[in-house]
Structure 1
Amino acid sequence: MLRIEGLRAGYGEAQVLHGVDLSVGAGEVVTLMGRNGMGKTTTISTLFGLLPARGGVVSIDGRDMTGAGPHRVARAGLGLVPEGRQVFPNLTVEENLVATARGRGPWSLQAVWDLFPRLKERRRNMGDQLSGGEQQMLAVARALMTNPRLVVLDEATEGLAPLVREEIWACLARIRAEGAAILVIDKNADALSRFADRHYVLEKGQVVWTGSNADLLADVGGVKERWLHV
């Protein structure tokens, strides 16, 4: 469904990505891991047209979408849960959800309430009245309300309490069960190895390791030691 080939991007004179290759098939769960500052968010920003590509190709369903605006990427079936959540602080929880809702599919307001009962309880609260964990749930739910075929989660559980992290991992299993593909950016190799199909590791803007979930499980300690630990 998604293929990134030789992607290069950066900020000003600083080159951050140096030929990133990555793919996600329909219904697949793929991870992008790496330490802070290695290019994970830059990859996502370039994928969604928030940062111009300096080289390489981004294709969705075989169509060249390199440099396409965020609205075109969204219409192609990608939904983003951005780093830092970025919920609308002056809208209620329910308004955050219906503001971006589109398309027919499994994700309606009721389906989101079923997935995150806590959001239903707080549906009349403003976005800035939620805890960090609740804001992350809202960011995930907002992406689902676009009924995407591929959900991209940037730093899915960063800064969250352990119980909230487990809730997010459980919700990803539900998303997959509904047929959507997932690209998740995180550093928690142990949690990701419980449900992902394939993995990529970035180091200084390049893919330095890629493999199946079985490959990761066979050497999870080595992968963490070489490329994930600070």
Structure 2
Amino acid sequence: MLKIDNLTAGYGQSQVLFDVSLSIEAGQVLALMGRNGMGKTTTISAVMGLIPRWGGGVSFDGRGIDRLPPHRVARLGVGLVPEGRQIFPTLTVEENLVATAAIRDGEPARWTLEAVWELFPRLRERRRNLGNRLSGGEQQMLAIGRALMTNPRLLILDEATEGLAPVIRAEIWAVLETLKREGQSILLVDKNLSAVLRLADACAVIEKGRTVWSGTSAELGRATDIHETYLHI
């Protein structure tokens, strides 16, 4: 589905990605892992076309998307839950969701308002509230719901549980488990190793803008040397 080969990218004159490679199959959950500042968010930004790709290749369903702008990447079926949520603060919960609603050509719309309400009952209760009147956890639920309303074939989540209360984190992990059972393809960035190993089928670890390890979650669970070298702060 998504394939990244030897990706290089950066900001201005500063190179951040030097050699990132990974691939995600349809229906698979892949976790992109590494310590802070190693290039995880930059990788996502490059995939989405939010920053220029300097070299290497990015393809989606066999089609090169290296030169596509963000809106065209999204229209192909890539939904993003960005770090920091970035919901529309002066729109209501319902307006936030409706604003991103889309139907993939020739595909039934799995995600509607009612489907999001079922996934996140709290959002139904807050449907008339402005985005800036929600708690951090509710904003994160809204960010996920908003991405789902694009009816994505691939859902990308950048630090979806960071900074949230434990009970909210547990609720979001449960939602991701539900999406996985339904066959949703997911690229996930998160630092919670135990939760990632329970959810993800495969993992890729990056260090200073390079992929240094990739394999199944079971393999990563056994690779304590990788935990110590590349994942622990």
Q: TM-score range by the shorter chain?
A: over 0.9
Q: Which runs of 5+ in 1 are unaligned?
A: none
Identity value in percent: 62
- State the partner residue of 2:21: 21
d(CA) in 2 for partners of 1:217 and 1:227? 13
d(CA) in 1 for partners of 2:37 and 2:102? 33
Q: CA deviation at 1:105?
A: 2.3
d(CA) in 1 for partners of 2:197 and 2:61? 26
- Computed over aligned residues only, the root mean square deviation of the Cα atoms, in angstroms, reads 0.9
Q: Which runs of 5+ in 2 are unaligned?
A: none
CA-to-aligned-CA distance 1:108-161 (integer Å, 9 cap, x gap): 111100110011110100000011111000000000001111100011111111
The count of residues paired between Structure 1 and Structure 2 equals 229
Amino acid at match of 1:40: K
TM-score (normalised: structure 2): 0.96
Amino acid at match of 1:60: F
Q: Aligned to 2:102, what secondary structure does the other structure show?
A: coil
- State the partner residue of 1:107: 111
Q: Aligned to 1:193, what secondary structure does the other structure show?
A: helix
Match of 1:190 among 176, 182, 194: 194
CA-to-aligned-CA distance 1:199-227 (integer Å, 9 cap, x gap): 011110001111101101212x4333211
Match of 1:223 among 197, 221, 226: 226
CA-to-aligned-CA distance 1:81-124 (integer Å, 9 cap, x gap): 00000000000000000001011321111110011001111010
Q: CA deviation at 1:178?
A: 2.4
- State the partner residue of 1:5: 5
d(CA) in 2 for partners of 1:178 and 1:90? 32
Amino acid at match of 1:123: R
TM-score (normalised: structure 1): 0.97
Matched, 1:124 2:144: no
Amino acid at match of 1:128: N
Amino acid at match of 1:68: L
d(CA) in 2 for partners of 1:195 and 1:210? 16
Contact 1:3 1:24 in 2 (8 A): yes
d(CA) in 2 for partners of 1:224 and 1:23? 21
d(CA) in 1 for partners of 2:161 and 2:176? 12
d(CA) in 1 for partners of 2:172 and 2:228? 25
Amino acid at match of 1:165: R
d(CA) in 1 for partners of 2:171 and 2:67? 34
d(CA) in 1 for partners of 2:16 and 2:67? 17
